[in-house]
Amino acid sequence: MKIKVYIFTALVLTLPLGFLAPQAQAGHTPTHEYRIKAAFLYNFIKFVDWPKEKMADSNEPIIIGIIGEDPFEKAFEPIKNKKVKGKKIVIKRFQGLEESKQSDEQTALIRKCHMLFICASEKEKLREIINLVKDDGVLTVGEVKGFLESGGIINFLMEDKKVVFEINNHAAKQARLKIRSKLLRLAKRVIPEKPSNEDKS
Amino acid sequence: MVIRGKIMVMRKNSLSKTLVLMLIGLIVFGPAPRSFAQQQDANEPEDLFEMSLEELMEVPVVFASSKRLQPITEAASSVEIITAEDIKQSGAINIADVLRDVAGIQVKEPSVSSHAIGVRGFADAQHVLITLDGSSAYLHHVNHTYLNLIPVSLEEIERIEIVKGPGGVFYGGSAFSGVINIVTKTPKQLDGTQVTTVGGSQDTLRSSFLHGRSLKNWDYSVAAGYFKSDYTSPPRDYFMHEDTRTNYGAGRVVYNFGDKSSITADFRQRYSDDAISRHCTNVRNTYFTLRYDEPDFWVRCFYNKQFKNAVNRLLSVDDTNYELEVMRIFKWGKNITSIGGFAKKVDFIVKNNTGDKHQSDIEDYAIKAENEYHATDHFIFTLGGRAEYFSEVDLVGLGRGSIIYKPTEDQRLAATIASGYYLPSLAQLYGWGGILPFQFNPSLNEEKITSYELSYYGPLTKKIKLKSAIFYNEYRGLISNDFSAALTNSADAHQYGLELGFNYVLTNWLTGFANYTYQNIDRSDLGSLEVDPKNMVNFGFHAKSGKWLSGLTFHYVDKFYEIYDAANPALGRLSAAQKVDPYITVDARIAYKPKDNLEFALTAFNLFNDRHYESNPVGWIGADKVDRRIMASVTYRF
């Protein structure tokens, strides 16, 4: 019966490695999914045209805001010296809406963003955050079901562990953003500019 | 109870060989590709930001290596993916043809209704596990997967995942030298209706119908297909047919509980009036799967039944498999532990026309676990094991460990050690009433493999990706089934090999691939007889210009000496090894897409008509010659 003991011991020994894994490590390491999502956000900039006043100052960077519990960690590090549309990219992180609302400065900074990624932790505050920035030409991006229906513009989905996205072009138009046809073509679902009963699927 | 299982221990001499191989590998792969150096400077992966949106949407993932979806660069074993687009561009008329482009894979076509696949040798179709959506298509009575009888059409396939080397931790005894997992399209991926019809040489007709839809929380799909083709040689016996005909149907219903969980019922059946190299009739393969999925938990129940009449109804075979699998994945930060249980029951009945009946009931239970530990952003360690009780052999165990260095998101350098076993078939253990030519032996043990591999996957330049591996395999207790005595586990062997593959983008309209395989096996029973082709070369191009697509593919397979009857694996070892000469095939395809949803194509297989055997050419069930085949196809999607 020794062999049984060996095999079961080996199996049992396999498991604790997972438990022993330093949790702190995970705190600094974005998952594969969020590295890909970060690359998507970077790509979205190329296919969205912002209102002129939002891009008027050539010295101002393009600001990607992240509101809520940030899953990206260091995922944007590789683009810290890159330029898109002739502008540098700056990542600004905001605590949850409740905390941010307590400071006018924070609220102003959120509204100044070109793109705002609304983390899943802010699921209950979606409409409030979207309403906060709806007149400021901010491209809102989320990752929860019903994001588009809440007025968000681009929503990430997982399909067979591949990252895909859907677009609310009506909300984009209301935010005075023009989404280029290539991005619309690649979206899994598009809510068209003029509301209709049937979405493209 | 007799305990026959043993933990495989690396011998001193094999350890030194492995170290030498790994050292050679490090030297070969040592000159770091361009992006290695960049990586060290930037200390962060950069490649994803260089990718287009289309590429980001297709960052490859694989299920088969560890039975969960993971980036291909984090898989514990060496993995190849064939996508739906690859399948379409190949113009193939069967799954086996699709696999011919892959380094390390040998495809044998004894006849148009039968194919045998080998991964790193052992192209007897017994030592590779083939699964459909993770469920085994393997039949225990002859330990064979009849690839052509799997109830699926080429158009229904989303991708094919090929795991090279033992995959036993999650799959058990049948995943000896590799696993081939066929992943079908979900109803959401089908999203509409597609009809394909292909016709051409040898009176071949192949057609398929697919339809899938989502309705609120429900998804459903239906699929059907038909295939008919003439054999290239006349019947060798009065009851053999001149052609093979097969049809299949499938239906799937999915109910989604919100975003995160779902329950799926999938039923499929294929019927063939003539199959397995022309001596089996009325072959019916039925699959039924019921599964419940959550992101990190799933339960799968699977029923797989094959009924067939063989040799002019001399006997009937009824092989019924029931599987139950439960898997749970624990995530601890980035570290992942998978743990699962598996239970299988096989009911096998063979009756001959004199009224004799043989019945076997197999029970198979396993627990399996693997841990994936992300030591840093770039280093991953995996360690896994499986303990399995197989009623005919008793307790067996195996393991897999790997060190993966991932300098960037799309690079992977891995050293893997994996063990596996092949459980003897019911035919090898019990015979079938004296019908089979070999002398069975109920005391047979498992065959064992220990594999050492060093592999690299990643870009060489912006336009060229390299996929390569060197491996050394040790085999113990191979079943040496000569016909003069009872079967025994008497042969040992060792094998080494190299796979070198490139995928390249020459221009924005021209892409291609090239790969080379070298493998060499020494067996204690056959010496250095080349039972596998030593050299195999594949290369091809695909071009796209406006509405036109074209492709050209070249295959070279070195000579080899076939020892197993790939045409009919139930018959086991051939009485004498048969030489199969080297052959070259060139395939070409041209397609025209007037609209996004409509395509016309013309495909030529074996364009220069190198009429050749791919398997044992002599005997009652000798192989057919492979001829030129020209096919026209139309695909319409709405």
DSSP per-residue string spanning A135-198: TTT-EEEE-STTTTTTT-SEEEEEETTEEEEEEEHHHHHHTT-EE-HHHHHH-SEEE-SS--S-
Residue B3 domain flag: no
> Which residues on chain A are in Cβ contact (under 8 Å) with B53?
40, 43, 47, 182-183, 186
Are A14 and B59 in contact (CB < 8 Å)? no
Nearest by CB: B46 against A11, A78, A159: A78
What CATH number should be reported for the domain holding residue B366?
2.40.170.20
> Which residues on chain B are in Cβ contact (under 8 Å) with A14?
337, 369-371, 383-385
Are A145 and B259 in contact (CB < 8 Å)? yes
The encoded tokens of residue B32 equal 């770091």
For tokens 């030519």, name the residue.
B437
The encoded tokens of residue B165 equal 């080397």
The Cβ-side half-sphere exposure at B99, using a 13 Å CA radius, reads 26
From the CB of residue A20, how many other CB atoms can be counted at a distance below 10 Å?
A: 11
Are B397 and A78 in contact (CB < 8 Å)? no
User: With contact defined as beta carbons under 8 Å apart, do B380 and B404 qualify?
Assistant: yes
> Which residues on chain A are in Cβ contact (under 8 Å) with B59?
36, 162-163
* pLDDT value at residue B445: 92
> Which residues on chain A are in Cβ contact (under 8 Å) with B383?
14, 17
Distances, alpha carbon B118 to alpha carbons A124, A193, B106, B162, B343, in Å: 54, 54, 5, 11, 27
> Which residues on chain B are in Cβ contact (under 8 Å) with A74?
44
Residues 82-141 of A with CB under 8 A from B: 82
Quote the CA–CA distance of B146 and B110 in Å, as a whole number: 12
Residue A15's nearest CA partner among B371, B478, B213 is: B371
CA distance B331 to chain A (A): 8
Residue B250 domain flag: yes
**Is A21's Cβ below 8 Å from some Cβ in B?**
yes
> Which residues on chain B are in Cβ contact (under 8 Å) with A154?
none
Which residues have CB under 8 Å from B81's CB, separation 6+?
B60, B62, B72, B159, B160, B161, B162
Nearest by CB: A74 against B44, B258, B371: B44
Are B383 and A17 in contact (CB < 8 Å)? yes
> Which residues on chain A are in Cβ contact (under 8 Å) with B399?
10
DSSP A125: G
pTM of the model: 0.81
Span A128-137, average pLDDT: 92
Nearest by CB: B69 against A3, A23, A161: A161
Residue B60 domain flag: yes
Residue B247 domain flag: yes
User: With contact defined as beta carbons under 8 Å apart, do B560 and B536 qualify?
Assistant: no
Query: What is the helix, strand, coil percentage profile of chain A, to 5?
Result: 45, 20, 35
Are A18 and B337 in contact (CB < 8 Å)? yes
**Is A149's Cβ below 8 Å from some Cβ in B?**
no
Residue B1 domain flag: no
Residue B4 domain flag: no
CA distance B433 to chain A (A): 35
CA distance B192 to chain A (A): 10
For tokens 């020494």, name the residue.
B522
Nearest CA in chain A to B329: A18
* pLDDT value at residue B144: 81
Query: What is the helix, strand, coil percentage profile of chain B, to 5?
Result: 10, 55, 35
Query: Letter for the amino acid at B85?
Result: E
* pLDDT value at residue B51: 79
> Which residues on chain B are in Cβ contact (under 8 Å) with A141?
none
Quote the CA–CA distance of A137 and A131 in Å, as a whole number: 12
Owning domain of residue B301: 10-637
Residue B96's nearest CA partner among B140, B149, B175 is: B149
Between B466 and A19, name the one with better pLDDT. B466
Query: Letter for the amino acid at B334?
Result: K
**Is A78's Cβ below 8 Å from some Cβ in B?**
yes
* Interface with chain A: mutation pick from B1, B49, B596, highest number of A CBs within 10 Å: B49
Residue B252: phi, psi to the nearest 5? Answer: -140, 140
Are B53 and A183 in contact (CB < 8 Å)? yes
Pairing mode, strands B192-200 and B204-215: antiparallel
Question: Element (H or E) spanning A101, and its range?
Answer: helix A97-101
Residue A1 has pLDDT above 50, yes or no: no
Between A182 and B472, name the one with better pLDDT. B472
Are A29 and B334 in contact (CB < 8 Å)? yes
Low-confidence ranges of chain B (pLDDT < 50): 1-46
User: With contact defined as beta carbons under 8 Å apart, do B522 and B528 qualify?
Assistant: yes
First-to-last alpha carbon distance for chain A, in angstroms, is 59
The encoded tokens of residue B57 equal 């949407």
Query: Letter for the amino acid at B428?
Result: Q
Q: For chain A, count helices (H), then strands (E).
A: 10, 10
Quote the CA–CA distance of B507 and B63 in Å, as a whole number: 31
* pLDDT value at residue A15: 52
The Cβ-side half-sphere exposure at A114, using a 13 Å CA radius, reads 28
Nearest CA in chain A to B186: A160
Quote the CA–CA distance of B637 and B363 in Å, as a whole number: 45
- pLDDT above 90: percentage of residues in chain B: 53
Nearest by CB: A29 against B70, B189, B374: B374
Is the torsion defined by CA of B436, B439, B445, B446 positive or negative?
A: negative
Residue B433 domain flag: yes
Which residues have CB under 8 Å from B199's CB, separation 6+?
B205, B206, B631, B632, B633
Quote the CA–CA distance of B127 and B111 in Å, as a whole number: 20
pLDDT band at A86 (very low <50, low <70, confident <90, very high): confident
pLDDT band at A49 (very low <50, low <70, confident <90, very high): very high
Q: How many domains in chain B?
A: 1
> Which residues on chain B are in Cβ contact (under 8 Å) with A183?
53
Q: State ipTM.
A: 0.79
Strands (E), B128-233: 128-132, 135-136, 157-164, 178-184, 192-200, 204-215, 218-230
CA distance B5 to chain A (A): 7
* pLDDT value at residue A76: 87
Residue B478 domain flag: yes
User: With contact defined as beta carbons under 8 Å apart, do B196 and B213 qualify?
Assistant: no
DSSP B43: -
From the CB of residue B43, how many other CB atoms can be counted at a distance below 10 Å?
A: 12
pLDDT digits (tens, 9 = 90+) for B60-92: 677 777 778 787 888 888 899 898 989 998 889
Q: Where are the alpha helices (DSSP H) in B268-365?
A: none
Distances, alpha carbon B72 to alpha carbons A42, B55, B413, B457, B495, in Å: 23, 14, 12, 9, 26
Are A38 and B48 in contact (CB < 8 Å)? yes
Residue A7 has pLDDT above 60, yes or no: no
Nearest CA in chain A to B3: A1
Which residues have CB under 8 Å from B273's CB, separation 6+?
B241, B244, B245, B246, B281, B282, B283
Nearest by CB: B7 against A6, A23, A79: A6
Are B49 and A79 in contact (CB < 8 Å)? yes
